[in-house]
Structure 1
Amino acid sequence: MGYTIKQAAEKMNLTAHTLRYYEKEGLLPLVGRKDNGIRIFTDSDLEWLSVICCLKGTGMPIKQIKEYIDLSLEGDSTLEERRQIFIRQRESVLEQIQQLQKHLEKVNHKIEFYDCACAHLSKKELRTN
């Protein structure tokens, strides 16, 4: 099935501007065009977009995503290199999760502090009334 840029953007929860940018950066090298130049996205293009969004969402820079896509276009001879990219990204995500867990602990600690402080203030106000 073919999708216009607007339809593809809506399906992927992106903007048409973002899709044009990704194409310009070489992240969507296989997007076809009609005779009149209008882009037509396929289900395969949407799958590429889902991988791009995943990698971007994990903090991978566009330049590295482009390297992955270039390797993918080279075919099976790059399978191990692509596997290693995902292994490294998994390590990066796990580190991010650990950092976020530490931040969450700090946030929870501060909430507990403010819960106690607010409760103490409420009791104090009750006594003065």
Structure 2
Amino acid sequence: MHTVKEAAQITGLTEHAVRFYTDKGLVPSVQRNENNIRLFDAESINWLYGVKCLKQSGMPIEAIKMYVDLCLKGDSTIPQRNEIMMKHKEAALVQLEEAKQRVAHLEEKTALYQAMMEHGVPDTTNPGKWEKYRHIHCDVFYSPSDSPAT
């Protein structure tokens, strides 16, 4: 049997995370001694590894809890567990596309900064100078005249 500290060391989680996961019911096999101290056996350590893996994939705690509860019900819940994974995968793919768009935007910005430094291209990135460059990118600059009428 392992203490919280030992379970954290074994799994690479923080002690806080181990306590949090057990308090959320994500480690159903955790035991407690007569002093109410958590004790972890091999199965409990496996649950912690499983939760860690799902959490690292970006899965929310609520979905992990549903997954754990389904696992406890046995193999008959494999279709439901698969559905949780499929939904999570779709959400991760959306996040991946958003991240790709952010990277593309940052690549454009860093190329612009390189051009400013190497070729003296005017600084259109500084909001303090945008009024001067309104004619170049009028679609993205704020103007009081652009505000909706009240």
TM range (shorter): 0.7 to 0.9
Unaligned residue ranges in structure 2 (runs of 5+)? 121-150
Report the identity percentage: 38
> Would you say the 8 A contact 2:11–2:45 is kept in 1?
yes
Kept in 1: contact 2:29–2:43 (CA 8 A): no
Cα offset for 1:35?
A: 4.9
Q: Distance in 2 between matches of 1:115 and 1:10?
A: 45
For 2:22 and 2:29, locate their aligned partners in 1 and report how far apart those are by CA, in whole Å: 9
Number of residues of Structure 1 aligned to a counterpart in Structure 2: 120
Instruction: Choose 1 or 2 for highest CA Rg.
Output: 2
Counterpart of 1:72 in structure 2 is 71
SS at match of 2:29: coil
Give the partner amino acid of 2:89: R
Q: Which has the higher contact order (CA 8 A, sep 6+)?
A: 1
Secondary structure (helix, strand or coil) at the match of 2:59 reads coil
**What letter matches 2:49 in structure 1?**
S
Q: How big is each residue's C-alpha offset from its partner over 1:73-118, in whole Å with a ceiling of 9 and x where there is no partner?
A: 0111111101111111111111111111111111111111111111
Counterpart in 2 of 1:59?
58
TM-score between both structures, scaled by the size of structure 2: 0.69
Q: CA RMSD in A?
A: 1.9
- Paired position in structure 2 for 1:40: 39
1:49 aligns to what? 48
Match of 1:90 in 2: 89
The structure with the largest helix share of the pair is 1
Deviation, 1:3, is 2.9
SS at the partner of 1:59? coil
1:55 Cα deviation after fit: 2.5
Determine helix, strand or coil for the equivalent of 2:13: coil
The AA in structure 2 aligned to 1:83 is N
Structure 1: runs of 5+ lacking an equivalent: 122-129
